[in-house]
Amino acid sequence: METQVVVIGAGHAGCEAALACARMGLDTVLLTLNLESIALMPCNPSIGGTGKGHLVREVDALGGEMGLAADDALIQGRMLNTGKGPAVRSLRAQEDKRAYHLRMMRALFAQDRLTVVQAEASELLTENGRISGVRTDYGDVISCRAAVVCTGVYLKSRIIIGSSIWDQGPQGLLPANLLSQSLMDLGFSLRRFKTGTPARVDARSIDFDKMERQPGDEPVTPFSFMTDIPPENKACCYLTWTNERTHEIIRENLHRAPMYSGLIHSTGARYCPSIEDKVTRFADKDRHQLFVEPEGLDYPEWYIQGMSTGMPKDVQIAMYRSIRGLERARLVRLAYAIEYDCIDPTGLSADLGSLSVKGLYTAGQINGTSGYEEAAAQGILAGINAAQYVRGEEPLILTRDQAYIGVMTDDLTTKGTDEPYRMMTSRAEYRLFLRQDNADLRLTERARKLGLAMDERMRRTEEKARQTEELIGRIRAAHQDALLRRPEEHLTVPEEWGSYSASAIEEAELTVKFEGYLNKELNQIKQARVMEEKALPEDAPYMDISGLRIEARQKLSRQRPRSLGQASRIPGVSPADIAVLMVWLTRWERQRKEEQS
């Protein structure tokens, strides 16, 4: 079998990567261990959240599918952090997880030039340092020019509950045991990470009247810039808390928790700890918040967010039944911890391509991240760049001042991560500029040039930009800008000004209200770009540059930074090393000009 691109894995990263390649005109094969695992939500049945909502909006602005699918499968939507500034406001939606799976499956099977195949990838084949094909567990070889590896948590995954261990993936699905060796043979450094998920509880055994209702927003704000009719709230979430009895049960059984008994040695997510980890680390707290959320409209499983654990079954039952509203809880699925293989992402370039194998890209949890949104964002970037590689065109590089996707990829490829990486607004130094509401203005034109933004999407973006500029002009002409900078004031468009879209009104208000802060950020961006635009040659002889410390030589030789700016963020490269590099680069540029003249 021959194709142009093979995408391995059909989770949130793989779906976006495969759709991007096919939409850019490349014949694409998407391999999945099981069709039932397509766009699976094995953990939280939601999309978005703080920082994550920004990523979904950016995926949508680039022509991705996640925002559209999330709007279609939404059962409750909320805007988080509404009491704070616009930089940290983030969309979050509760999803019907089966509806989301089916919605994404329809998108894949309806896409021209995309073929979905149920098979396990067993080996990555190369010729002369370039990807040439993918071998499956059936022994078939799919010849290709590029491959995107999006294996999620399935690489040599194992499920752990108490002292019981199973070699399997999430929700009883098979693990992917064959590809890890191939990755190591190609020079990748593997490590073991861990994540976990709470138990699922039968809705009929939950006393919702003992809990605090958490209704959705009215109206719901959609994720996609292409969604015309806002989704409707169809369900309600609830809030409850652990208590001292819960904590007592946990402390009495800590020796049976796999993280404490020695069964687990891998690294877990610091920002999403197990309940036993929370109770141990935050011993001064007498309760922890739990969100009780539906997994769908037509089946009775409810998700207890904040109650992730790997405790044995009897302890889980006692823990859950100690909580207000869950005294009669029947656990439909037990909580579990899951370990899996992933790579060191510093072996990648900023386009998520391998530094050692041309045409090989990776995205999602294989790169050390956690979360559906982080995976989708990497997936669309890796898919775009795999397509660009095959087409012989320049890769799409998103920098820290252009997108949250750029912040994440730079963090991963420059600094690496020693724990599952999670996107947060605090990671973005230019977060007032990188708001979720302006993702279309920042990225859609670039998507258009790549062939991912269709005419209607581009028309809407251009019209929003035109209306926003016109509104700002009217505000200033009417001398309302000073008034609008007051926190309590909001833009009301006079009837005589004409009709404007809600998105343009929001954009104009925020631009005027935060003009001083935005200008300060833009000045910082301009200063930082001086370093980012100082490109370093791909074949720079770092080991031979006198004045560089040994550690810096080794780190620079391995990671091959694209610019002085990126080099300055590599751990182990000091300001003194950057000064040496600047002197060397000036000499190198002068010598190159002399050779060309």
| CA separation for the pair 320, 156 (Å, rounded) | 30
Q: 409-443 b/e with 16+ CB inside 10 Å = b?
A: bbbbbbebbeebbbbbbebbebbbbbbbbbbbbbb
| pLDDT mean over 477-495 | 92
Asked if residues 127 and 38 have their Cβ atoms less than 8 Å apart, the reply is no
Size of the chain, expressed as the number of residues it contains: 597
Token readout for 112 is 């021209």
Express as a percent the part of the chain with pLDDT over 90: 94
Asked if residues 146 and 393 have their Cβ atoms less than 8 Å apart, the reply is no
| pLDDT mean over 501-512 | 96
Cα three-residue angle 296-299-305, rounded to 5 degrees: 50
Residue 271's CB is within 10 A of a number of other CB atoms, namely 13
pLDDT at 239: 98
Asked if residues 307 and 290 have their Cβ atoms less than 8 Å apart, the reply is yes
| CA separation for the pair 331, 122 (Å, rounded) | 36
pLDDT at 110: 98
Name the phi and psi angles at 286, rounded to 5.
-95, -5
| CA separation for the pair 105, 111 (Å, rounded) | 10
With H, G, I as helix, E, B as strand and everything else as coil, classify residue 447.
Answer: helix
Q: Return the closest-CA partner of residue 399 out of 390, 388, 407, 387.
A: 407
Q: How far is residue 77 from each of residues 67, 215, 217, 307, 417, measured CA to CA in Å? A: 13, 9, 6, 22, 31
pLDDT at 569: 95
Q: Return the closest-CA partner of residue 97 out of 55, 149, 45.
A: 45
| CA separation for the pair 296, 95 (Å, rounded) | 7
Asked if residues 97 and 31 have their Cβ atoms less than 8 Å apart, the reply is no
Residue 520's CB is within 10 A of a number of other CB atoms, namely 12
| CA separation for the pair 320, 327 (Å, rounded) | 7
Cis peptide before 219 (omega within 30 of 0): yes
pLDDT at 188: 96
Residues paired with 267 in a beta bridge: 193
| CA separation for the pair 224, 91 (Å, rounded) | 11
Q: What is the pLDDT of residues 300-358, one digit of tens each?
A: 999 999 999 999 999 999 999 999 999 999 999 999 999 999 999 999 999 999 999 99
Q: Which amino acid is at 81?
A: N
Least confident of 66-70, 265-269, 457-461, 482-486: 265-269
Burial class (CB in 10 A: 0-12, 13-18, 19+), 37: buried
| CA separation for the pair 130, 558 (Å, rounded) | 18
Q: Return the closest-CA partner of residue 289 out of 233, 212, 235.
A: 212
Which DSSP symbol is given to 524?
A: H
Question: Which residues fall within 8 angstroms of residue 23, CB to CB, at 6 or more apart?
Answer: 63, 111, 451, 452
Q: Return the closest-CA partner of residue 410 out of 366, 365, 346, 356.
A: 346
Helix (H) or strand (E) holding 227: none
Bridging pattern class, strands 114-118 and 146-149: unpaired
Question: Which residues fall within 8 angstroms of residue 284, CB to CB, at 6 or more apart?
Answer: none
pLDDT at 552: 94
Helices and strands per DSSP (H, E), number in the chain = 19, 21
Q: What is the pLDDT of residues 441-454, one digit of tens each?
A: 999 999 999 999 99
* Banded model confidence at residue 209, pLDDT cuts 50, 70, 90: very high
Q: What is the pLDDT of residues 521-580, one digit of tens each?
A: 999 999 999 999 999 999 999 999 999 999 999 999 999 999 999 999 999 999 999 999
Cα three-residue angle 94-92-398, rounded to 5 degrees: 130
Asked whether the predicted pLDDT for residue 434 surpasses 90, the reply is: yes
| CA separation for the pair 119, 138 (Å, rounded) | 8
pLDDT at 312: 97
* Banded model confidence at residue 595, pLDDT cuts 50, 70, 90: confident
Q: What is the pLDDT of residues 384-433, one digit of tens each?
A: 999 999 999 999 999 999 999 999 999 999 999 999 999 999 999 999 99
Q: What is the pLDDT of residues 195-204, one digit of tens each?
A: 999 999 999 9
Q: What is the pLDDT of residues 50-105, one digit of tens each?
A: 999 999 999 999 999 999 999 999 999 999 999 999 999 999 999 999 999 999 99
Give the full edge-to-edge strand order of the sheet including 331-333. 212-214, 237-241, 289-294, 301-305, 200-202, 331-333
pLDDT at 269: 75
Q: Return the closest-CA partner of residue 370 out of 328, 350, 340, 327.
A: 340
| CA separation for the pair 41, 471 (Å, rounded) | 41
Helix (H) or strand (E) holding 294: strand 289-294
pLDDT at 596: 84
pLDDT at 263: 80
pLDDT at 126: 98
| CA separation for the pair 222, 50 (Å, rounded) | 15
Query: Rounded to 10 degrees, what is the CA torsion of 434, 218, 371, 289?
Result: 110
Q: What is the pLDDT of residues 134-185, one digit of tens each?
A: 999 999 999 999 999 999 999 999 999 999 999 999 989 999 999 999 999 9
pLDDT at 398: 97
Q: What is the pLDDT of residues 251-310, one digit of tens each?
A: 999 999 987 777 877 777 777 789 999 999 999 999 999 999 999 999 899 999 999 999
